[in-house]
Chains A and B, each alone.
Chain A
Amino acid sequence: MGRPRWGNPESVASARSQVLLDIDAGGGIAWITLNRPEKRNALSVPMRDRIADLFDQLAIDDRVRVIVIRGNGPSFSSGNEINEDWGQRGPEYKRFTVTHAYRYSSELTWGRTSFSQVIARSPKVVITSAQGFCAAAAYFLLAAKSDLVVVADDVKIGALEARFLGPASSVASLNLNRAIGAKAARYSGYTGAAMNAHDAYACGFACHVSPLADLQVDTARIAAEIAARPTAELSRLKARVKGGDSLMDNNVPVVSGLLASHFLRSHSDEMSFWKAVKEGGVGGALKQDKARAAASGGVSS
């Protein structure tokens, strides 16, 4: 008997139009498009479920050799939706429990069938094409799990959630440490600062930087270049990456971060993010955080 998936009726019903799939069968490329631009493509649980389902579907589609993930609108994605009840607490839960947190975080990151693992372990070559914000979960669970990252020159990539949600999962991600270097991963997590396009290219996170207007064309060119290689060769290379990642424990996810996130409380000196969200929405909370940082002489990204 399957477990009911999380999500409210509206978010479940919207997921199909918020995550679009186009397959260019002749070219061997599948395009997954995040299509919730009014919310900077914030990922609800049903959207993440749909992405995972699409990856499962594409894994066994012989027409597809390359999967591109991109976002409609000014930003690739701001990360996980945080206006929905944190972790989509179901009506059966009277309070947050470790068991509840375990399910939420294992479905998000560390279960072998989770959202991020299905991307990291895909047998197809995965490219993220990002513009604007590529933040929080979109950074460390989506872009960082891709094989190649192509960015626009306006991109802002970072563990911005660390500003208010406690642990930045990026800090202890072996995968990310090996993608951008250990110091950069810690800087990213301990400051919440965003990488710009130059930083992302220089540290090795992005393989190509495009002017914003050229991002789609350049991504399509790179995807086509890879998809033109023989299927058997790509499959063999992906198998090597998968095997090598396994040997290096690259996909062993951070267990504690998301689990603990459910129980974090702000210090009395700190802004209570959730209280601020209740008062002014996410945008209001971010503005409040920025104002606090500016008032204290700090820099908020």
Chain B
Amino acid sequence: MSTDTTLLADHVCLITVGDAAALDRRESIAGEQLRDALLSTSDDDDVKAIILAGLTTGRFAGLVGPQDAHPGTRASYSGTRGLHQVVTYCKKVVIAEVDGQVGPTASALCLAADFVVSTSQSTFASPFSVPEANYPLAVLTMRANRTKAWMFRGGELDARSAYEAGFVNELVPGKSLRQATTDLGRRVALMPLDGLTVSKMNIGAAFDVIGVGREFDATEASVAAGGASW
């Protein structure tokens, strides 16, 4: 099932991932489709906020990594124009919408997103089995020791704990989820386009200062070197 893009409200775009489990399988086409949807939407001047939905997968069965030996797969996930960097440095505000069990790749995408709105029964797999889960960004988001505890203990974080750790911005009942993300998107849409753009430019520069970009570069190099070992 492919990634779908629709306009949800004025200046608010919805991108729905067709098969989030395919991201955990590191299928090249799934990564490319989502990345391309994000790139084209972020260059649309009519869009200020992007809601990223369809991120839940069901119980995580383990990452599959040998495909990383293929340069195309590495490019679509780990590269400078790969999925994780495109979300992290997206020109528009990205809101991750979560309802259910989030696998490691989608967890890493939630980490990269600007906001995460989640239902209270959702769970987040540790993103750190994904090479592109950015450690400096995680430290900035949820602080160093929480990051390391999640990293080394592994396992799922329930939505309440994720909220308390600063990983999730808002907890809502399931039936209100789409309304909550749309409302947040609309609030962002009330902001001036150029103001948002400059803010996004600035946060990207700040990320680079604290090592987010260098971590991505190091990850790309290690994935290229290690390939199947992930």
Contacts and interface: CB of A to CB of B under 8 A. Distances in A.
Interface of A: 125, 147-149, 175, 178-181, 203-207, 222, 225-226, 229, 234, 237, 240-241, 243-244, 247-250
Interface of B: 128, 135-136, 139-140, 142-146, 148-149, 151-154, 165, 210-211, 214-215, 218
Contacts of A250: 139, 144
Chain B: interface secondary structure?
A: helix
A220 to B, nearest CB: 14
A180 B214 CA distance: 24
Contacts of A125: 152
Nearest to B230: A236
Contact of B145 (A205, A225, A234, A237): A205
Nearest to B151: A237
Contact of A229 (B136, B143, B154): B154
A186 to B, nearest CB: 15
Nearest to A229: B154
A148 B145 contact: yes
A244 B148 CA distance: 11
A256 to B, nearest CB: 22
A249 to B, nearest CB: 8
30 contacts: A148-B145, A148-B149, A175-B144, A178-B143, A178-B144, A179-B143, A179-B145, A180-B143, A204-B145, A204-B146, A204-B165, A207-B145, A207-B146, A207-B149, A207-B153, A229-B154, A237-B128, A241-B151, A243-B135, A244-B139, A244-B211, A244-B215, A247-B136, A247-B214, A247-B215, A247-B218, A248-B136, A248-B139, A248-B210, A250-B144
Q: Which 8 A-B pairs have the closest CB atoms?
A: A247-B211, A244-B135, A207-B149, A204-B143, A179-B144, A178-B144, A147-B148, A204-B146
B135 A241 contact: yes
Given A179-B143, A180-B143, A237-B128, A148 B148 contact: yes
B135 A240 contact: yes
A240 B128 contact: yes
